[in-house]
């Protein structure tokens, strides 16, 4: 915020503070000075750094209030030479010659308009030109300059229309029509969307609400009657339009930080008074007002004892109340001195809690008077569950040869579409700097594929191939417009041998799950048609943990691999991180070492190619062989010996009796029962 010291002194009594004193006061109050430029005469321009929540200080009056509180001077606002509500007593009322309709009260809490007839357009007086030039503004004419002066004086953006150019003697606040044009004051023609708010007359849009005015209704040398607009808008509405249209204005910056409806009247009346003084004319009585200013006041109780504990020093209750009053806060100390009842002024929407008031007391009392301890007491708390799970996953995967990546959340739109499930839309941003990659990724996999391609081009070729993982947020938009955001674990494995890559991916998922939940957690892989265009239909499967769907694993298509320039196949997987976090902590069971040996039997059964291991396991266990301790998968064989369309699956049955040594003749009937069950349910035959 560029601030003229000479201008700022107008709101201090007795005033007369030099640049050094003003800069020191602002810095003590928590507003660093970025730079200083001395100007001719007793003036200097200070570039004051402001935080985003202090929109009230984006004007000279707001900063003067802070300087007054820091220096003990009295803050004073400019006086209005007529009744703010009624006007100076003209021959006509504004409401009799013009009308305002607010069709978007949810986006425009309050819109006011005043009419001045018979103004004389010309150059601005020297004092106004000098003030505006000090803060980097070019003088246009006395009416436009007066509006800009109020902006930098009080922080209330206003706009002036040439009344003769407004068609239908009516202003309508409404949402724009899709494709509606507007020639703006920045010299560009903008095409509007239906989610952008405009101020219109009865035929067309004449300004983009809170952002910029239109050229066709601007004040010119031919103007004689003007309409003064003073309004406030929902910050998100202003911000959305300004970002999409790439329009940055001083008014938009202030509206984006919220302008309270209760501050409008004084600023509008002040503007009218200045125009009458420098341009003449007659101000019609009253204001056309659409949308009432809120009557409720934010009331917060400050406990002096709590304030002392937070600051580490004792500030007498009466002194705390005085500090708050110096900032325009109504503060009344209770009779017992235990509470200061504070009424927050309209210009301070950032004050919502007791701790906010404590900060204000500290600023005015002097942050340099708050002691700094040589030692900081640290309260050690248990690590967050998500952070603990993420660390466990990272430790497990790096132990399995993976490298962790940190990639950007934006990708090309075609990349995002290839990894978008049905019923979802790509979530995009419209900012100019993201023109090439505007899509928020719905999957982390395309980022891992990019990373692999970069390493391939750099000649990275470790033994066993490259393995990558990342935990990151993914985004999509549902058909109903709701934004979906999840945090996922994504895996990438080089897979020149597709079967091996598939098995390794499943093994990695099981290792991660068991590290989080313990060895008892059950991981199931269920083949299914691919839900992504980038994955193969014949190599896609859902992943379930303890019968809950948590993600998928897949092989990417040749087209996807070629699109990234990869020379080898790729196995990928993506698991919902929230589902993994819920598995913690791992459950372990301790049991004594077996006292008697086990008997192991390997069975190689020939089944149809489409038969899944899950089916083989299910049927074998359903046979309920006595004393079965464990059933393991050993391997798969395909070849001429088993025939086309067939495969040989080898499983290992482990039997044990905890009380004695088993005999083989006791195990044989159990094995035969399993073989029979596999034959009857799956058509399996023992491989010769």
pLDDT band, very low/low/confident/very high, at 431 (cuts 50, 70, 90): low
What does the pLDDT read at residue 238?
Answer: 96
What does the pLDDT read at residue 531?
Answer: 94
| Residue 425 bridge partners (DSSP) | 477
Q: What is the mean pLDDT of residues 7-21?
A: 95
What does the pLDDT read at residue 550?
Answer: 95
pTM: predicted TM-score of the whole model, two decimal places: 0.68
Q: What is the mean pLDDT of residues 474-496?
A: 92
pLDDT of 383 above 90:
no
Q: What is the mean pLDDT of residues 281-286?
A: 94
| Residue 46 bridge partners (DSSP) | 3, 36
pLDDT band, very low/low/confident/very high, at 131 (cuts 50, 70, 90): very high
| Distance, CA of 458 to CA of 565 (rounded, Å) | 13
- Strands in 348-416 per DSSP E: 403-404, 410-411
486 token code pair: 């999840």
**Separation in Å, CA 685 to CA 621, 641, 649, 668, 679:** 17, 13, 10, 17, 6
- The distance of Cα 668 from the centroid of its chain, to the nearest Å, equals 65
Q: What is the mean pLDDT of residues 485-510?
A: 94
- Looking up tokens 């700094």 gives 372
pLDDT of 395 above 90:
yes
Q: Dihedrals φ, ψ of 114, to 5°?
A: -130, 150
Q: Closest by alpha carbon to 426, among 412, 410, 437, 442?
A: 442
What does the pLDDT read at residue 592?
Answer: 86
pLDDT band, very low/low/confident/very high, at 649 (cuts 50, 70, 90): very high
> Is 425 strand, coil or helix?
strand
Q: What is the mean pLDDT of residues 614-639?
A: 92
pLDDT band, very low/low/confident/very high, at 251 (cuts 50, 70, 90): very high
- Strands in 64-196 per DSSP E: 74-75, 99-102, 110-117, 158-162, 170-175, 181-183, 189-191
Q: What is the mean pLDDT of residues 220-243?
A: 96
What does the pLDDT read at residue 529?
Answer: 93
pLDDT in tens, 157-177: 999 999 999 999 999 999 999
Of 190-194, 301-305, 475-479, which gets the smallest average pLDDT? 475-479
Q: Is 153 within 8 Å of 61 (Cβ atoms)?
A: yes
pLDDT in tens, 554-603: 999 999 999 999 999 999 999 999 999 998 888 777 788 889 999 999 99
Of 178-182, 380-384, 415-419, 671-675, which gets the smallest average pLDDT? 380-384
Q: Which residues of 71-98 are buried (b: 16+ CB within 10 A; e: fewer)?
A: bebebeebeeebeeeebbebeebbbeeb
Most confident of 33-42, 94-103, 477-486: 94-103
- Strands in 30-157 per DSSP E: 33-39, 43-48, 74-75, 99-102, 110-117
Give percent of the chain with pLDDT exceeding 90: 83
What does the pLDDT read at residue 432?
Answer: 64
| Distance, CA of 55 to CA of 18 (rounded, Å) | 25
| Distance, CA of 426 to CA of 440 (rounded, Å) | 7
What does the pLDDT read at residue 42?
Answer: 82
How many Cα atoms within 13 Å fall on the side-chain side of residue 669?
A: 7
């Amino acid at each position: 915020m560029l601030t003229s010291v000479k201008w700022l002194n107008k709101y201090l009594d007795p005033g007369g503070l030099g640049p050094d004193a003003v800069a020191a006061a602002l810095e003590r109050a928590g507003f660093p000075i970025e730079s200083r430029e001395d100007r001719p005469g007793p003036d200097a321009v200070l570039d004051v750094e402001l935080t985003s929540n202090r929109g009230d200080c984006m004007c000279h009056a707001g900063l003067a209030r802070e300087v007054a509180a820091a220096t003990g001077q009295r803050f004073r606002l400019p006086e209005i030479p007529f009744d703010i509500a009624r006007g100076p007593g003209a021959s006509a009322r504004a409401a009799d010659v013009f009308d305002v309709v607010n069709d978007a009260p949810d986006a425009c809490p309050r819109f006011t308009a005043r009419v001045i007839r018979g103004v004389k357009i010309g150059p601005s007086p020297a004092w106004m030109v000098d003030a505006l030039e000090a803060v980097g503004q070019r003088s246009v004419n006395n009416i436009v300059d007066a509006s800009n002066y109020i902006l930098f004086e009080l922080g209330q953006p206003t706009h002036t229309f040439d009344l003769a150019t407004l068609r239908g003697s009516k202003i309508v606040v409404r949402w724009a029509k899709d494709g509606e044009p507007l020639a703006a004051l920045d010299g560009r023609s903008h095409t509007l969307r239906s989610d952008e708010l405009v101020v219109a007359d009865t035929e067309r849009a004449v300004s983009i609400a809170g952002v910029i005015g239109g050229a066709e209704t601007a004040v010119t040398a031919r103007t004689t009657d003007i309409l003064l607009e003073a309004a406030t808008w929902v910050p998100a509405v202003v911000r959305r339009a300004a970002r999409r249209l790439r329009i940055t204005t001083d008014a938009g910056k202030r509206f984006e930080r919220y302008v309270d409806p209760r501050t409008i009247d004084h600023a509008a009346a002040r503007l009218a008074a200045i125009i009458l003084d420098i341009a003449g004319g007659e101000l019609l009585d009253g204001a056309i007002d659409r949308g009432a200013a809120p009557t409720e006041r934010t009331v917060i109780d400050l406990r002096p004892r709590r304030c002392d504990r937070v600051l580490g020093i004792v500030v007498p209750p009466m002194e705390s109340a005085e500090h708050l009053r110096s900032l325009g806060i109504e503060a009344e100390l209770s009779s017992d001195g235990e509470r200061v009842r504070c009424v927050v002024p309209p210009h301070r929407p950032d004050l919502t809690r007791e701790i906010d008031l404590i900060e204000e007391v500290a600023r005015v009392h002097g942050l340099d008077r708050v002691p700094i301890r040589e030692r900081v007491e640290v309260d050690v708390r248990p690590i967050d569950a998500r952070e603990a799970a993420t660390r466990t996953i990272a430790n497990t995967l790096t132990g399995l040869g993976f490298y962790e990546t940190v990639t950007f959340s934006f990708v090309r739109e075609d990349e995002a579409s290839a990894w978008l499930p049905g019923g979802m839309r790509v979530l995009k941003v419209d900012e100019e700097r993201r023109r090439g990659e505007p899509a928020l990724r719905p999957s982390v996999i395309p980022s891992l594929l990019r990373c692999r391609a970069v390493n391939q081009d750099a000649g990275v070729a470790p033994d066993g191939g490259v393995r990558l993982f990342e935990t990151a947020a993914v985004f999509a938009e549902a058909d109903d417009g709701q934004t979906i955001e999840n945090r996922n674990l994504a895996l990438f494995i080089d897979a020149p041998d597709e079967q091996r890559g598939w098995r390794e991916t499943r093994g990695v998922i099981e290792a991660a799950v068991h590290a989080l939940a313990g060895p008892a957690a059950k991981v199931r892989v269920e083949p299914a048609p691919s839900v992504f265009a980038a994955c193969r239909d014949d190599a896609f499967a859902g992943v379930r943990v303890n019968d809950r769907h948590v993600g998928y694993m897949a092989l990417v298509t040749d087209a996807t691999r070629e699109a990234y320039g990869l020379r080898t196949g790729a196995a990928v997987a993506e698991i919902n991180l929230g589902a993994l976090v819920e598995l913690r902590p791992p459950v372990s069971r301790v049991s004594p070492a077996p006292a008697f040996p086990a008997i192991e039997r390997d069975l190689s059964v020939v089944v149809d190619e489409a038969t899944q291991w899950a089916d083989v396991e299910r049927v074998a266990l359903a046979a309920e062989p006595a004393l079965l301790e464990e059933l393991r998968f050993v391997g798969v064989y395909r070849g001429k010996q088993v025939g086309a369309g067939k495969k040989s699956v080898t499983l290992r049955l482990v039997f044990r009796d905890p009380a004695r040594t088993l005999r083989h003749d006791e195990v044989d009937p159990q094995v035969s029962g399993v073989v029979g069950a596999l034959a009857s349910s799956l058509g399996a035959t023992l491989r010769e």
